[in-house]
Structure 1
Amino acid sequence: MAGGDSTEREEAPRRDPMLWLKRLFVRLGVLPFLLIVAVVVFTLMSDNFLTGRNLMNVVRQSVYLTIVSLGQMFALLTGGFDLSVGTVLALSSVVGAMTMATVYGAMPEAPALAIAAGVLAGVLAGTAIGVANGIGVALFNVSPFIMTLGMASVGFGIALFLTGGVPVYGMPVAFGDVFGFGTWFGIAVPIYVTAALILLVYLLVAWTPFGRWLYAVGGNIKAARLSGIGTRTVLFLTYVVAALLAAVGGMLLTARLDTGEANIGASMPLESIAACVIAGVSLRGGVGRVENVVLGALFIGLVQNGMNLARIESYLQTVVLGALLILAVVADQIRLRYIADLKD
């Protein structure tokens, strides 16, 4: 009888399409379903949507969000989040551009040195925001929400103070030509940079002790501490890595714009959190995969591109993005409920 009951339970999903869809949803999350809907809708709305050129353009435009979302994933895995990633982009852009322009103005015969100095200064300035976030969260137990929100205001104020709200010009032309608009074998250089970062983050998360510690801290920080994991160190490094990745994205975006801007990245906190949550990264911490986050960022880029082709106003695009974030959170809660039901 027991063997017969087991066989009936295994055959039940085949007879019940809804149960099969439920198990598929539990396994894959909401992202595949949203992708299918988006592709169908935007294909019907625009004949240019599914062309190879447009899809490559989506990938090209999504590299900045992808890099920032990878950093945001670190914070979410530990049960927090980083609202300062947009400010990191702005501060790294301003400091990097100002340093680059200063060095290039003094030594116009050495553009490579100016680019290297500017990139280093920009990345260090952005990472400094992450260091401050890490100290506040890890050492002083400040809520990630308050700490990163406060640093977002501080960093934005510094960026505006340094520039007076005026874009920074005077960088070497080679910086924009290579890292902004350059191609290699027909593929944009920023895509190669992003692919390398994705590989590094994947190896760090999936194949190193630090990656396992991230999941442990996000799953149960007290248990992680009792098992000997240095939870304060993990939390500190989490926000440093998140800011470091955002700073790299900021320098790539600076190359694309060919100016240092204090007002870029304002929508990046919302977009990066949405990309992660849609990709199945739990807001409770301890759950998430690198490859899914990359797909989540590409999905956000795909939706934005589709809305642009459909000539949907930018204000409404913000509404759609916020609605997607809410939908993803609701879907995550439903998925957790389904997981509990299937276990029962």
Structure 2
Amino acid sequence: MRQRRAGRLGATLLLAQICCSSKVFSLQMALSGGVNVNTARVNVCTNRWCKEKGSGATLASFIGLIPDDNVLVSGVGCLGKCNKGPNIQIMHRNGTWYELNRVDSVDKVYRILTDHLQCRVSPAAAECLQHNFEGNAHLDRNEVTQAIASYNKAIDAGFKDQEGVILVMRSTAYLQRAFSHRIDVRNTLDRNADFQKMEAAIIAAFTAAMELPYWTNTMLRLILSIGEAQAETYHNLKLHHGLYEFAVLQATDDAVRATQLLPNYSKCWLRAGEALAELRRTDEALQYFDTAVSLDPSLASVVEPIVNHLQESRDQRRFRHQMLRGRGGRPKAGKEQDLKPEFK
């Protein structure tokens, strides 16, 4: 397995998923008699220098791979030897302590658990985490296609315990791809607007060509080239819009599934709300945003401007629907589906 430093975002999500798990204990709790003193322990340095070298991902890897409660994991302060981080301390069940340095990959964590502590760790779990962290690293570098490919491999590894985390990360990647295609759509529309601005100039030139016949062939070639350019523009517009729509649908599907697997994790609900908002499914998006804020009130400042924009857009759409149906004034309150055109 290739040794690659994990992305910070994936480590944060993994810790958020299992931070309340019985696998995570503080050393003080162990020493106070809250756990079996014969249990093996792993202390991971989370101080500044080790953190910059990926100790957050190291800690997340230990937590994600430990199969039972016979090994307790905790983050601790500086262990020294900062130039050799990430550093960890291991205490065997017989009470022997020793230190390991440069524990910077899922593969190393896997070998420590299986070789040093004789834990039965699922190879699928290690493979899943490795691909997940690779995807996070790609996403940090805005390499969306590679990130999605890594997340697909992580899911294919078949380690169900991490499926929710991977889905929310893949949803994030698909949303980034959708935003990129949305920019392409906007740029294509802007180019089409430039073509429309040329219509008046073409008419004026064509009128001049009628008076000066030797301009006729030149004008015909110009009009033909503009028509071909417009056809290409419309083709690109259709292509990018289709790619945008596909990415948003994939992001929505992943995020909604993640909320079912991690119902107490607010970021899943936030991501699902963002994806549904892109689909203009306003009522559903608002419900997901409400759940996200109820789970984590600190998200209120993030959600509020999105919700305000959604509500304003919904009001504008309702007003346009009523105008098209021959009704004046502002729309009455009601569900969006009530405003669909009536076919008789």
TM-score w.r.t. length of structure 2: 0.25
More helix by share: 1
More strand by share: 2
TM-score w.r.t. length of structure 1: 0.25
Q: Which has the larger radius of gyration?
A: 2
Structure with larger RCO (C-alpha < 8 A, sep 6+): 1
